[in-house]
Amino acid sequence: MFPLIRLFPTEPRLNILAARTWLLCLSALLLTGSLVAMGTLGLNFGVDFKGGTVVEIRTKGPANLEDLRSRLNGLGLGEITLQQFGSPTDVLINVPQQGADTDTDAQVAAIEKVKTELGDSVAEYRRTEYVGPRVGSELRQAGLLATVLAMLAIALYIWFRFEWQFAFAALLALVHDVVATVGFLSITQIQFDLATLAAVLTIAGYSINDTVVVFDRVRETMRKYKKGSVPGLLNAAVNSTLSRTTLTSLTTLIALIPLYLFGGEAINGFTAALIWGIVIGTYSTIGIAVPLIYYLGIRSDSVAVPSKQEAAKADAS
Amino acid sequence: MVQIPRWQYIFALVVVLLGLVYVSPNFFSRSTMEEMPGWLPQEQVNLGLDLRGGSYLLLQVDVDSVFQEQLEGIVDVVRSELRRGRVGYTGLGRSGNSVVFTLTDPGQTGQARDLLRPYLNDATLRIDDTGAGTISLSDAAMAERRTRVLQQSIEIIRRRIDETGTREPSIQRQGEDRVLVQLPGVDDPERVKELIGRTAKLSFHLTDESVLPGSDAIPAGSEVLEGDQVAPNGQPVRYVVRKRVLLSGDNLVDAQPTFQQGAPVVSFRLDSIGAARFADVTRSNVGRPFAIVLDDKVISAPVIREPILGGSGVISGSFTVQQAQDLALLLRAGALPAALKVLEERSVGPGLGEDSIRAGETASVIGFVAVIVFMCAAYGLFGIFASAALLLNLVILMGAMSALQATLTLPGIAGIVLTIGMAVDANVLIFERMREEVRQGRGPVSAIDVGYRKALSAIVDSNLTTLIAGLLLFNFGSGPIKGFAVTLSLGIITSMFTAIMLTRIMVVFWLRQRRPQALPI
């Protein structure tokens, strides 16, 4: 058999707890940066949440964005923005909502105008999406609700399976990951639409995975060595799970990176958010969640008694 | 954990076989599948509109206007009936979902009740001691009316879309007053939107020649309507039209586009009641113009030259051939009971759909191969087991998608790729645990046993949390995002099965055959 690749020393000796102040400062910086970005740059809301129309066209030759932009903005339909979308012949045109709420006729007329102006420079209308303001605000509310519910449901589940310190730390780590991901979307100005929101929700569900793995080990270690110092036991738990915490994220990244490179422009932002969120989630598991349970005052005796069922299982082995 | 009960072998075998059976139709063309015996599953994966191209329209039915119209009718009845019965009243009008008025003499309450009762139908009338009266539509009646209007709208939309020859349209009610229309493979959504967006309420009226459209004194029974044509001054031509409907689109039994003196026109045929009424009206109004009104616009106002007795006629106007065809189609399909508004539209051309499928395929294959290479490099033989389980995971996932007829969208493909990455997570957890146990001096059998057992709770916990997020996404998401939630959630379930049960069976089988002294991990 060929030699197996080992990415980590057999027994890593990271002293996470000693670095806890620095790690928390780093995260505080990350979160502040994210919040400042959200406050100043805001999010680049897509048509799903903002309302309006987006048209994706393929031009016959390489598109002359300057020319198209000035022609379309001469129509008096508000600020029409254009952007290259993948290849040089593909252009994404954003037409703002026309007139009042659900004034469909005005919107249809505006699109007609745009299409007439574009005339025969267009080879193919690849996609048209219109979202009225009412649906836009409904989607915004539903999205926010789903994200909050998902985080609460996950924390509730962790609470059900672990002690409250774990659940609370997990919830904070989740909020950390979600805020940092939304901050990333704000700084990069990646379009925030339904797909990127789905990515944020997925991050919430996924980034908790390695947190659970570490917590599981923390509990196991604490039950085994009741007398050890808490920082020592936490460090031991982090180090013995370090390879699997990072490798599981690595396998997922290995699958996602080709998706980012070859999956097409339409899901690029979505994949970028997922990749960032997975990296951040792994960092927050080691750097945030574990120090947090220390701060929340976990002690060996708070996890000491395994349930009867587990004790019976342990005997059986 | 190295002792596997027989039922687990059987269960695993059955699931894998079912996966293979259900995934197989995807590898054959539809025509080949039709020749297969009927008891074999024939369903292929259902592609979403973003992959196969097509239109998604979310429409709102303006049910409120129907209620307002009904209330307006009640106001008219109250006005004419109370006047006829010489009952004095003030403040007659609409207020929310009721009609309100006040009797000047509360003593006439009984009289007012008797006058109005025959017209109430499903509305309720209340008049209190001070003479204040309200007529309100009951909640039950309104709900029933709403349902009926929606059903009618869906029916009319379906008829119109069927006329355009779209295959497999899906038209569903959504929520209180919305209709979701999904049209696979439609590449001209504008035309479809124009067709289903028009109310197409047709009516014939006499014109009122006693006043000019610009006059201040339009008689109560008449109204000014704009015409289709434009006058020399750039304004649309206006007509004074009597409100009374001589004949409405309900009386039409057929309408066809045709030509008259080289111009496109629409010929129509009336039912027997309509024909009789049309004959009467035309007989007594020879020489006078009548207006053909479509959605509050006068299409044309021809002069009646002779009585039309055969129950058929021609609508002429300044039509293009396409317009004449569309008008005929709309008249055949019937009028919508209420106006429709487009709340949301998503249309994808066939070119983009094909590109997305290709991009998704490329990304999945590369991701899959990269993960396999990594797993084999990191875990050797056990990595091969995990890769085999991963391949079976994809088979079972696609089989489940086909069997459940779930819709595969572009984000759904991303969900599959994510599942590929996450499925081996479980194996990484197990294998890393085994390495650790080996380091602590356990023998192969014991290391495998402990590795699977101790990793299990972490795997289940972490997968369930992701599943929670997936289910919430499914609940709130629409269209493409639902597709992501479906593949993610199904993928988590199938990967728990393949990554834990299947790899364990493989590992145990290998253990029994080889009886190794040390684990190659």
Do B339 and B66 form a contact (C-beta atoms < 8 A)? no
What percentage of chain A carries pLDDT values higher than 70?
Answer: 90
Q: Locate the DSSP E strands across B105-251.
A: 123-127, 132-137, 170-174, 178-184, 202-206, 222-230, 236-242, 247-248
By the CB < 8 Å criterion, does B391 face chain A?
no
CA distance B171 to A294: 56
Q: For residue A315, what pLDDT is reported?
A: 45
CA distances from A234 to A8, A125, A299, B99, B431 (A): 19, 57, 10, 72, 22
When pLDDT is averaged across residues B386-400 and rounded to a whole number, the result is 94
- Look at A317 and B450 and tell me if their CB atoms are within 8 Å: yes
- Look at A212 and B462 and tell me if their CB atoms are within 8 Å: yes
By the CB < 8 Å criterion, does A89 face chain B?
no
Do A281 and A256 form a contact (C-beta atoms < 8 A)? no
pLDDT of A48 > 50? The answer is yes
Surface of B (405-424) touching A: CB under 8 A: 410-411, 413-414, 417-418, 420-422, 424
- Look at A195 and B411 and tell me if their CB atoms are within 8 Å: yes
CA distance B91 to B102: 6
For residue A75, the Cα-to-chain-centroid distance in whole angstroms is 38
CA distance B336 to A197: 37
Residue A267 or residue A314, greater confidence: A267
DSSP secondary structure, B230-272, as one string: E-TTSSEEEEEEESS-SEEGGGEEEEEEEEETTEEEEEEEE-H
Nearest residue, CB atoms, B345 vs list A129, A158, A198: A129
Contacts 24+ apart (CB under 8 A), B224-231: B225/B291, B225/B293, B225/B296, B225/B297, B225/B298, B226/B297, B226/B298, B227/B297, B227/B298, B227/B299, B227/B300, B227/B301, B228/B297, B228/B298, B228/B299, B228/B300, B228/B317, B228/B318, B229/B318
Nearest residue, CB atoms, A251 vs list B421, B461, B462: B421
Nearest Cα neighbor of B469 from A256, A283, A148, A255 is A148
- Look at B465 and A205 and tell me if their CB atoms are within 8 Å: yes
Question: What are the two backbone dihedrals, phi and then psi, of residue B71, each rounded to the nearest 5 degrees?
Answer: -65, -40
By the CB < 8 Å criterion, does A206 face chain B?
yes
When pLDDT is averaged across residues B169-195 and rounded to a whole number, the result is 85
Tell me the residue length of chain A: 317
- Look at B472 and A150 and tell me if their CB atoms are within 8 Å: yes
CA distance B156 to B176: 18
Do B318 and B229 form a contact (C-beta atoms < 8 A)? yes
- Look at A205 and B466 and tell me if their CB atoms are within 8 Å: yes
* B421, amino acid identity: G
Q: Round the average pLDDT of chain B to a whole number and report it.
A: 87
Other beta carbons within 10 Å of B105: 12
Q: For residue A188, what pLDDT is reported?
A: 94
Do B51 and B410 form a contact (C-beta atoms < 8 A)? yes
Residues of A in contact with B370 (CB under 8 A): 254-255, 257-258
Q: For residue A3, what pLDDT is reported?
A: 56
CA angle (A159, A162, A167) in 5-degree steps: 45
Q: Are strands A44-45 and A191-192 parallel, antiparallel or unpaired?
A: parallel
CA distance B464 to B349: 37
When pLDDT is averaged across residues B47-74 and rounded to a whole number, the result is 88
Do A54 and A46 form a contact (C-beta atoms < 8 A)? yes
pLDDT of A309 > 60? The answer is no
- Look at B381 and A262 and tell me if their CB atoms are within 8 Å: no
Biggest distance spanned by C-alpha atoms of chain A:
80
| Residue B499 DSSP class | I
CA distance A85 to B200: 40
When pLDDT is averaged across residues B39-46 and rounded to a whole number, the result is 81
Q: What contacts A1, CB < 8 A, 6 or more positions away?
A: B380, B381, B520
Do B271 and B308 form a contact (C-beta atoms < 8 A)? no
Which run of H or of E encompasses B90?
A: strand B89-95
Q: What contacts A299, CB < 8 A, 6 or more positions away?
A: A230
When pLDDT is averaged across residues B17-42 and rounded to a whole number, the result is 81
Number of cross-chain residue pairs from A and B with Cβ atoms under 8 Å apart: 235
A7: confidence class by pLDDT, cuts 50, 70, 90: low
DSSP secondary structure, chain A, as one string: -PPPP--S-SS----TTTTHHHHHHHHHHHHHHHHHHHHHT--EE-HHHH-EEEEEEEESSS--HHHHHHHHHTT-SS--EEEEESEEEEEEEEEPPPSSTT-HHHHHHHHHHHHHHHGGGEEEEEEEEEE-HHHHHHHHHHHHHHHHHHHHHHHHHHHHHS-HHHHHHHHHHHHHHHHHHHHHHHHHT-EESHHHHHHHHHHHHHHHHHHHHHHHHHHHHHHH-TTS-HHHHHHHHHHHHHHHHHHHHHHHHHHHHHHHHHS-GGGHHHHHHHHHHHHHHHHHIIIIIHHHHHHTT--GGGS----HHHHHHHHH-
| Residue B289 DSSP class | B
When pLDDT is averaged across residues B179-199 and rounded to a whole number, the result is 82
Do B409 and B492 form a contact (C-beta atoms < 8 A)? no
By the CB < 8 Å criterion, does B517 face chain A?
no
Residue carrying structure tokens 């903002």 = A50
pLDDT of B137 > 90? The answer is no
Nearest chain A residue to B359, by CA: A263
Of the candidate ranges A247-256, B248-257, B355-364, B512-521, the one whose mean pLDDT is the lowest: B512-521
By the CB < 8 Å criterion, does B45 face chain A?
no
CA distance A243 to B375: 14
Q: For residue B35, what pLDDT is reported?
A: 74
CA angle (B355, B359, B365) in 5-degree steps: 145
Nearest chain B residue to A52, by CA: B344
Residue carrying structure tokens 């808490």 = A230
Q: Round the average pLDDT of chain A to a whole number and report it.
A: 85
| Residue B43 DSSP class | P
pLDDT of A127 > 70? The answer is yes
What percentage of chain B carries pLDDT values higher than 70?
Answer: 99
* CATH classification number, B6-53+350-514, choose in 3.60.20.10, 1.10.1040.10, 1.20.1640.10, 3.40.50.300: 1.20.1640.10
Residues of A in contact with B380 (CB under 8 A): 1-2, 4
CA distance B55 to B169: 10
By the CB < 8 Å criterion, does A208 face chain B?
yes
Q: For residue A179, what pLDDT is reported?
A: 95
Which run of H or of E encompasses B345?
A: strand B340-348
- Class of CATH domain A20-44+136-307: mainly alpha
pLDDT of B139 > 90? The answer is no
Q: What's the pTM? A: 0.81
- Look at A263 and B60 and tell me if their CB atoms are within 8 Å: no
Do A27 and A69 form a contact (C-beta atoms < 8 A)? no
How close, in Å, is residue A15 to chain B by CA atoms?
20
Residues A187-225: tens digit of each pLDDT: 999 989 888 888 888 888 888 888 988 998 898 888 888
CATH architecture of B204-325: 2-Layer Sandwich (3.30)
CA dihedral B346, B349, B354, B355 (to 10 degrees): -80
Surface of B (229-268) touching A: CB under 8 A: none
How close, in Å, is residue A296 to chain B by CA atoms?
22
* B149, amino acid identity: V
| For chain A, domain boundaries | 20-44+136-307, 52-131
Residues of A in contact with B63 (CB under 8 A): none
Residues of A in contact with B477 (CB under 8 A): 146, 194, 198
Q: What contacts B478, CB < 8 A, 6 or more positions away?
A: A139, A194
By the CB < 8 Å criterion, does B65 face chain A?
no
Nearest residue, CB atoms, A259 vs list B342, B414, B439: B414
Mutation target among B59, B180, B191, B345 for the A interface, most CBs of A within 10 A:
B345
By the CB < 8 Å criterion, does B163 face chain A?
no
CA dihedral B194, B195, B198, B203 (to 10 degrees): 140
Nearest chain A residue to B362, by CA: A262
- Look at A264 and B469 and tell me if their CB atoms are within 8 Å: no
Interface predicted TM-score (ipTM) of this complex, two decimals: 0.85
CA distance B31 to B41: 14
Whether B204-325 and B64-138 are alike in CATH topology: the answer is yes
Residues of B in contact with A100 (CB under 8 A): none
Surface of A (96-135) touching B: CB under 8 A: 102, 104, 107-108, 111-112, 124-132, 134-135
- Class of CATH domain B64-138: alpha beta
By the CB < 8 Å criterion, does A45 face chain B?
no
How close, in Å, is residue A142 to chain B by CA atoms?
6
Token pair of A294, please? 């220390």
- Class of CATH domain A52-131: alpha beta
By the CB < 8 Å criterion, does B462 face chain A?
yes
Residues of A in contact with B484 (CB under 8 A): 195, 198, 202
Nearest residue, CB atoms, B429 vs list A2, A244, A252: A244
CA distance B314 to B268: 6
Q: For residue A308, what pLDDT is reported?
A: 45
CA distance B3 to B511: 11
CA distances from B405 to B22, B24, B386, B400, B486 (A): 11, 14, 28, 8, 11
Residues B274-315: tens digit of each pLDDT: 899 889 888 888 888 888 898 888 888 888 888 888 888 888
pLDDT of A8 > 70? The answer is no
CA distance B163 to A175: 52
| For chain B, domain boundaries | 6-53+350-514, 64-138, 204-325
SS3 B21: helix
Residues of A in contact with B475 (CB under 8 A): 146
Mutation target among A2, A251, A278 for the B interface, most CBs of B within 10 A:
A251
Nearest residue, CB atoms, A201 vs list B371, B414, B469: B469
Which run of H or of E encompasses B419?
A: helix B410-439
Residue A285: exposed, middle, or buried by beta-carbon count in 10 A (0-12, 13-18, 19+)?
buried
pLDDT of A101 > 60? The answer is no
- Look at A194 and B439 and tell me if their CB atoms are within 8 Å: no
Q: Which residues pair with A262 in a beta bridge?
A: none
CA distance B374 to B397: 22
By the CB < 8 Å criterion, does A213 face chain B?
yes
Nearest residue, CB atoms, B381 vs list A1, A201, A264: A1
CA distance A25 to A32: 10
CA distance A32 to A15: 26
When pLDDT is averaged across residues B236-255 and rounded to a whole number, the result is 86
Residues B359-382: tens digit of each pLDDT: 989 999 999 999 999 999 989 899
Nearest residue, CB atoms, A256 vs list B58, B417, B476: B417
